[in-house]
Amino acid sequence: MDSIDFYVELGVPKGATHDEIRQAFKALARRYHPDRNPDDIPTQEKFQRITRAYEVLSDPEKRQQYDRLGPLYHLDKAPPTADELGKMVSETIGGFFKSHPRFRNGSNIETTLHLALPEVLGCSKDVTVLRGIICTPCSGTGAKTSADKIPCEECNGKGKKSRFFRSPCTACDGRGFRIHKRCAKCGGIGREERSDTLTINVPGGVQQGQILRIKGKGHASLGDKDNGDLLLTVQIRNHPLLERRGRDVYCEIPVLWNEAILGTSLTIPTVEGTTTIRIPPNTQTHQLFRLTGRGLPDANNQNRGDLHIRVIVELPSSLTPQQEQLMRTLVDELLPSQTPKRMDFENKLPSS
Ligand SMILES: [Zn+2]
Ligand SMILES: [Zn+2]
């Protein structure tokens, strides 16, 4: 299903004349042509969208079909699928009473906010988005000069269909005027997409997939409605050694057999970086050590969870003949009481 509104794309009202559509396309094509904007992918995508919109709206037959089907319209004239019809019905019922002019409203910007694990503690993060802002030369009217704003004859410049109905005039999309010559800067849309860098305060304890809403930082509204919002979906990058489980963080550490027996100091990873912990003598494999308060913060009270360190004793994968000899000498001198679990196991074995 095509969710692009071709009229919004060209910045023309639904009741635009053929000439208005042609002029809008010409002005926008000049503004967004790939030759003028090499290596600018968003601009090139915009150009493709306006070309597609013009292809449909400039052809009376296609336009009539598009007006009837709206988002169900397929460029290849294929009939809408059952899925699309179902979705359309629920959307129509949901939006039936919203009769305000569409393209003048500020829509939301949705993007992903990538965070490294330490940033989940809370951070300031710069996010660059392409925002539609009010065009300066035309102050958002889309007209080249104020003389190019011609009062709409359909609604007598009121922007509404009649005194009794509040639905907007389709000839001017509720603006009350039609445009003669279009603003060269924005192509008549009234908005310009500009790269904007915002510093976002990311609170501690955000969750994977959580959406942060920054009010009013979406696309600018051209009418009296609010600007759209910026919606950031949190994506936390995996750490090579640490695993998140809610507020707690887990790590498995390979400890050499001699270190486990004799004890050692080890550098381990933490959410912030690294720290050193003491592995006491005679540590067993899979033993857990807990570093209280070194996990991730709770979003509500900022209390931090714990860092759990699990020791995995690593045995040598092979021995030289000389090492093997030394090992046998060592084992021969071990007393059963030094390995109590094994002694207990053997005592409990049924006699055969
Ligand atoms: Zn009008
Ligand atoms: Zn402009």
Whether residue 271 is found in the same domain as residue 203: no
- 0.95 exceeded by the pTM? no
Torsion (CA) 188, 223, 168, 26 in degrees, nearest 10: 10
Q: How far is the CA of 156 from the centre of ligand 2 (A)?
A: 24
Query: How far away, in angstroms, is 180 Cα from ligand 2 center?
Result: 13
Residue 142 lies in a domain: no
Are 109 and 92 in the same domain? no
Q: How much distance in Å is there from the Cα of 6 to the middle of ligand 1?
A: 19
Judge if 109 and 220 occupy the same domain.
Answer: yes
Task: Measure 168 CA to ligand 1 centroid, in angstroms.
Answer: 8
Is 19 contained in some domain?
yes
End-of-domain residue from the set 237, 266, 294: 237
Q: Contact 327/270 with Cβ under 8 angstroms?
A: no
258 lies in a domain?
A: yes
Kindly state whether residue 214 falls inside one of the protein's structural domains.
yes
Do 217 and 126 fall within a single domain?
A: yes
Name the β-bridge partners of 197: 128
End of a domain among 237, 253, 276? 237
| 263 Cβ contact partners less than 8 Å away, ≥ 6 residues apart | 278, 279, 280, 281, 282, 283
Residues 109 and 233 in one domain: yes
Hey, CA dihedral for 214, 11, 60, 25, is it positive or negative? negative
Residue pLDDT tens, the chain, 352 long: 445 788 888 988 888 899 999 999 999 998 888 888 777 777 788 899 999 999 999 999 999 988 888 767 776 666 666 666 665 555 544 443 343 345 677 889 999 999 999 999 999 999 999 888 999 999 998 999 999 999 998 888 888 877 666 777 888 888 889 888 999 888 888 888 888 899 999 999 999 999 999 999 999 988 778 899 999 999 999 999 999 999 999 999 999 999 999 999 999 999 999 999 999 999 999 999 999 999 999 999 999 999 999 999 999 999 999 999 999 999 899 898 999 999 999 999 998 7
Which of these, 314, 258, 308, lies nearest to 285 by C-alpha position? Answer: 314
Pair of tokens at residue 145: 């000069």
Which residues surround the ion ligand 1 when the cut-off is CB under 5 Å? 152, 154-155, 169, 171-172
Residue 212 and residue 333 in one domain? no
In angstroms, what is the span from residue 177 Cα to ligand 1's centroid?
Answer: 6
What is the domain extent for residue 284?
243-348
Number of domains in the chain: 3
Ion ligand 2 neighbours (CB, 5 A) are 135, 138, 183, 185-186
Angle ∠(288,290,291) on CA atoms, nearest 5:
150
**Separation of CA 190 and ligand 2 centre (Å):** 5
| CA 232 / ligand 1 centre spacing (Å) | 37
CATH number for 204: 2.60.260.20
Structural domain includes residue 337: yes
